[in-house]
Copies of this chain bind each other. A is one copy, B any other.
Amino acid sequence: MVNQLISKIKSTGAPIVVGLDPMMKFIPEHIQKKAFEEYGETLEGAAEAVWQFNKEIVDHIYDIIPAVKPQIAMYEQFGIPGLAVFKRTVDYCKEKNLVVIGDVKRGDIGSTSEAYAVGHLGKVKIGSTICRGLDEDFITVNPYLGSDGVKPFIKVCQEEKKGLFVLVKTSNPSSGEFQDRPVSDAGGRPLYEVVGEQVAKWAQEHMGESYSYIGAVVGATYPEMGKVLRGIMPKSYILVPGYGAQGGKGKDLVHFFNEDGLGAIVNSSRGIIAAWQQEKYVSFKEEGFGEASRAAVEEMRQDISDALNSR
């Protein structure tokens, strides 16, 4: 799957993943109204609005991006109907040949991590029948519980040729509270480097052609740390959140990429899906929110491309 991701990044020229993180405030009035008329102001109504919103955006951008990253929290907030739309979105994006990264940040131990792994990436045996649960291509994983929390995911990835992005250094302001703490038995280096080194080891265990199936999450908001982590994890794709709305810019991203121009995929969520609410895309109007998203993707691709070309 990492080979497929890279091939799609090359063919689109866009090391971009679009975060399908729908919040009600991003969804145009006419979509909400129609959904509520059909299903009421219920979890089902909200889920229907999310689905119609996602579908129109995906229809407008699927040919110019390699991947999407639905954030499951935004679906869980609408309970089971919301989660059903998460699954519907995953399936629809796969039909459109997009690589789907489930942003689920799961992490637990032993048999529990196994259950998450089979639920999101693998298959489960029911009686004598093989079934699949949510069936994403990649998921994000939280490493706080250590190797025996992550290895069950790696095992399923090996069986399924799927992949992970392990949280190393997150994009939020207080990510340093624990992640940046200096570790004395690692020469005082920060915890995120220690985690990064472990990710590099896991990455070696599950290599694709030129990159590993085991990637990392490193926030765009910390470009200097990104530079160091790039060196520590040479074979891991880095998923970079924090571009756009969180303050990251194209020029902050260059160090996340390797010399081959590969090795990083940059996420933007509200910068793309809520583009229609930005001043500069106002001409698309509310009805043209899908086209506004497309314009925002094209601008982001240009910004990253310019930054990479001028390094």
- Report A's interface with B, CB cutoff 8 A: 21, 23-24, 32, 36, 40-43, 45-46, 71, 73-74, 76-80, 82-84, 87, 105-113, 115-116, 118-120, 124-129, 131-134, 142-149, 167, 170-179, 181-186, 188, 191, 194-195, 198
Contacts and interface: CB of A to CB of B under 8 A. Distances in A.
Nearest to A109: B172
A309 to B, nearest CB: 31
- Closest CB pairs A-B (n = 10): A79-B133, A146-B177, A41-B127, A146-B174, A41-B129, A109-B172, A76-B119, A77-B119, A73-B115, A184-B184
Given A107-B105, A173-B148, A178-B144, A124 B80 contact: no
A120 to B, nearest CB: 7
B74 A133 contact: no
Contacts of A74: 112, 115
A134 B43 CA distance: 11
Contact of A145 (B78, B132, B148, B170): B170
7 contacts: A71-B108, A71-B112, A77-B115, A78-B124, A142-B144, A145-B174, A178-B191
B186 A181 contact: yes
Contacts of A181: 183-186, 191, 194
B45 A127 contact: yes
B105 A106 contact: yes
Copies of this chain: 2
Nearest to A78: B133
Given A40-B129, A43-B126, A149-B172, 8 more contacts: A21-B112, A42-B131, A76-B120, A77-B119, A142-B142, A144-B144, A181-B184, A182-B184
A249 B71 CA distance: 39
Contacts of A172: 109-110, 145-146, 148-149
B23 A111 contact: yes
Given A76-B133, A167-B144, A174 B186 contact: no
Contacts of A178: 143-144, 146, 191, 194-195
Contact of A46 (B71, B131, B185, B191): B131
